[in-house]
Each structure stands twice: as C-alpha cells, then as structure tokens.
Amino acid sequence: MRKNAASRSLHELYREDPDKADRRLFGRVAHPDRRGFLKGAGLAAMAALVGGTIPFHRNMSAHFIPVALADEPVIQGKDGLVVLNDRPLSAETPAHLLDDAITPTERHFIRNNGIPPQTVDASSWTLTIDGLVETPLTLGIADLKRRFDVVTRALTLECAGNGRAFFDPPAGGAQWTYGAVACSEWTGVRLADVLKAAGLKSDALYTAHEGADTHPSGAASGLPISRGVPIAKALDPDSLIAFAQNGRPIHPMNGAPLRLVFPGWPGSCSQKWLTRVWLRDRVHDGAKMTGTSYRVPGRPLAPGERLDETEFVIIEAMPVKSLITHPATGHRAAARALEVRGHAWAGERTIDAVRLSIDFGATWSGATLDEPVNAHAWQNWRAAVEFPGPGYYEVWARATDSEGVSQPHAVAWNPKGYLNNAMHRVAVTVV
C-alpha cells in the first residue's frame, strides 16, 4: 500500500466516501445526530495531526476537515513522507529527501505501534522510574532539566524493518524500502544519570519501557509496545531521555513531549510518549519483546523455512549500512561528471570506508568520508563520479565498518524482514 488514505488529498477522500475517510484517518464513526462523534483514539489522531489538543472538538460535525489540514499534507509538520500504514501510522522518507547532514524534523520517518495520546502537555507530563531502584522517582520535564545535565546529540535511529520490501518471499509488516532511518539532533538528559539518581540495585539487569499510546484495536488494556534494553545500553552516555528534536519540541508523531533515544539499536527500543522506565532482574517480556518480534533466527534459514521461536535472538546493534541521497534514482544527467553523496552508519561501530561502483560491482572507487559529528551519528560522504559515455548506469554504494564488515549484495532471508543492509543502488541515465 504505497498511496493510501493518509497520503492522498483529504478532499478527494471525503468526496469518495466520507464515512470511510473518517474511519481510516481518525478511527471515528459518526454519532447519529452528526455531532459529538469524535473521541478517544480518533480525537487523539486528529489532535496529533493538527499539533495540539482541540478544546471544542464536541462542536465538530461529522466529516469535518480542520483548516490546518485542508490545504496541507495530512501529516502536519512533515514533508514528502510516503505513508505505508495509517493505523497505526508508519511513513518513510524517500532517500533523496534525506540529503541533509542532520535530518530535519519534517523529514524524520514515523513508526507508530499504537495510537498517540490525546493530551501531550509538556508542563504536566511525568515520568516514573521504579522497579529495582533504591528510590523510585516521579519527574516532570522541568525536573529533568533542573536536576540533570542537558545534552544535545546527533543520533541515528533506524527501524529494524527498514528494507523489508525487498525480501523474497515477502515478509509481513510495513513494507519499508530505504527511508525508515534518520539522524536528527536530540536534546535531553542521559538515562544513565536518572537511573543513578534513583539508585540502581545490584540485581537490575534490564530496563522496561512504557508509553502513553494506546492499542490500535481500541482495547482499554494492553500496551501496543513495551520494550527494554540491557543495563549496559541504558548506561551508555548517548542513551537519552529526550524532550527536544532539532532544537524544538518533539514532533507529535515522533513521541512528544518525551521519549527515549537508544541510537544504533532498533528504533522500537526508543519508547515514544514515555511515561515509565522500570528496572527488572530479567529480560523484559513486554509487548513486542517476545516470540519473533524484533528477533532474528539464530542460524541461517532457507527462504520460507519455519523455525521454532526459541531459536530466535533479540536484535541489538544494527548492521553496517549506507544510503545514496543524491542523485535520486531515475536521474537523467546531461554531463558525464556527477557528485554522488549520502550517509553511512553501523550501530555501535563507526564507518571506515564507503566505496562506489558504476559497472555493476566489477570495480570500486572510494568516497570522501566525514567523521561523525559525535558518537552514534551517521557519517556523511561524497564522491565525484565520471561516466564513460551516454547510457544507463547504476551507482552502487557499499560501506565498511570499523571491524572490517562490509555491506553484502544480498542478505539472508528471515520471516520478519529485519536487518536488510544490502547495498543501495540508484539508476542514472547519461544523455
């Protein structure tokens, strides 16, 4: 589903089937008197799209289109994203729109597991730290700013399913191509500082995270996602409790007003709309922590082969990867010289080299590679490419990390479509 309710014109949708448009966009159903119908998850969805609460929502009639959305993209505050799912919302950024060294908020991908909360008032938001700690804490955002060092870091976040669309046989889930990755600047406090203030007990081995989003089914109980990380990752100085994105409040669809950021690990670990972190003496078993969720087979599988769930292992650090952000695939060049540029990243490691090929991998040439602006930020690269003459070419990019591991031509199949780090290719026609 590459073009659906959330990526088409609102007016077009409502002309075709207004009741269906209401359900798909906001999960709402009109009240018989055509008023006061918007509540719960539907109201939360609309509030997130317009960027704030709607005090007089009870006065809105059925099929009402807020003026803030009428002439704007459906995802308010986002630009150019391609919607893959609309409930819960998942949207990726085309590779050529990720050309900035630091990803602008409007270009940061969206991966929701639940329906965003209706109320996201930063002044009254609280975070609880409890479980295996000496002193449980309840902290507002103002408390976090006052009690702990505030830091800003450029941090790479990537969905574990980025690249899922290219698995054969297909893997279930959002069919991400290349755009479920970003490197924005996040401002917040170190999770380690907060956990130390609470007094970690010696038997604390794993964190567990909870957010204020609700299950897409509308169920009153049951979290849509509750993941955790080992204590060592929680104590990494770049693991943040963040309250700002690129110098401004976090975008509602990226977890406002408070979220975790665990760079280099699957984005699912970085709980959005964060309300609680509790410490456990075992691997967390919350929603999407068990079974095959965010896990890969412990041994190679033949495509389509089934494996017992006990043989799956939790995904931790993400693999080496690169992205070509200029030119866009399908580019037509009038000149034989072209600048090619992009980014590369590698979970907990750094990138040693990026190499390019224009002859289908027969030969490779190096690119100029920048150092990361800080640990866990992607690295920007560029190269001047000379094409020998007119015709169709593919530019291939292959990154090698600090442990000597390079991107493969193709990755081993897995049933959930995780960790596809095959080389990125773009098409160029020289005329």
Residue 368: give its domain's CATH number: 2.60.40.650
Mean pLDDT on 55-75? 65
CATH number at residue 289: 3.90.420.10
Same domain flag for 310 and 167: yes
State whether 169 and 245 are in the same domain: yes
Note whether 162 and 200 are same-domain residues: yes
Encoded tokens for 257: 């007003």
Which of 253, 283, 314 terminates a domain? The answer is 314
| Sheet with 321-326, edge to edge strand ranges | 321-326, 337-345, 379-386, 368-369
| 152 and 280 both lie in a single domain | yes
**Domain end residue (candidates: 314, 345, 369):** 314
Highest mean pLDDT, choosing among 1-15, 211-225, 323-337: 323-337
Q: At which residue do the structure tokens 């755009």 appear?
A: 179
* Number of structural domains the chain divides into: 3
67 and 137 in a single domain? The answer is no
Whether 389 is in a domain gets the answer yes
- At 31 the pLDDT is 44
306 and 337 fall within a common domain: no
Cα angle, residue 353 at apex, residues 349 and 356 outer, rounded to 5° = 135
Q: Find the mean pLDDT for residues 217-236.
A: 91
In a domain, 195, yes or no: yes
Domain annotation covers residue 93: no
Mean pLDDT of 54-62: 73
Which of 196-210, 213-227, 283-297, 391-405 has the least mean pLDDT? 213-227
pLDDT recorded at residue 167? 95
Question: Of 374 and 76, which is predicted with more confidence?
Answer: 374
Contacts for 328-331: CB closer than 8 Å, 24+ residues apart = 328/94, 328/95, 328/96, 328/426, 329/95, 329/96, 329/425, 329/426, 329/427, 330/426, 330/427, 330/429, 331/426, 331/427, 331/428, 331/429
CB 224 within 8 Å of CB 191? no
207-214 mean pLDDT:
97
Q: Is residue 109 part of a domain?
A: no
* Confidence check: pLDDT of 41 > 70: no
Which structural domain range is residue 276 located in?
126-314
Residue 112 lies in a domain: no
Please report the pLDDT score of residue 51 as a whole number.
63
Query: What confidence category does residue 3 fall into, taking pLDDT thresholds of 50, 70 and 90?
Result: very low
Encoding tokens for residue 203?
Answer: 């038997």
Residue 143 reports pLDDT greater than 90: yes
Say what the pLDDT of residue 14 is.
59
Residue 291 β-bridge partners: none
Same domain flag for 265 and 327: no
In a domain, 51, yes or no: yes
Let me know if residue 306 belongs to a domain: yes
Residues 310 and 325 in one domain: no
pLDDT, mean of residues 75-93: 90
Tell me: the pLDDT tens digits for 237-260? 999 999 999 999 999 999 999 999
15: confidence class by pLDDT, cuts 50, 70, 90: low
What local confidence, expressed as pLDDT, does residue 30 receive? 44
Q: Are 248 and 242 in contact (CB under 8 A)?
A: no
Q: Which amino acid is at 49?
A: L
314, 333, 351: which is the final residue of a domain?
314
**pLDDT over 70 at 9, yes or no:** no
Are residues 260 and 216 part of one domain? Answer: yes
Residues 166 and 294 in one domain: yes
Using CA atoms, how far residue 303 sits from 95, 175, 294, 307, in Å, is 27, 17, 18, 11
Q: Are residues 292 and 143 in the same domain?
A: yes
Rounded-to-integer distance, Cα 122 and Cα 256, Å = 8
What stretch of H or E contains 43? helix 40-50
In a domain, 12, yes or no: yes
pLDDT range class, residue 70, cuts 50, 70, 90: low
* Residue 4 confidence class, pLDDT cut points 50, 70, 90: very low
pLDDT higher than threshold 60 for residue 72? no
Under the banding of pLDDT at 50, 70 and 90, the label for residue 377 is very high
Same domain flag for 308 and 327: no
What integer pLDDT is reported at residue 218 of this predicted model?
Answer: 76
pLDDT at 87: 81
Q: What is the mean pLDDT of the chain?
A: 90
Contact between 243 and 122 (Cβ < 8 Å):
yes
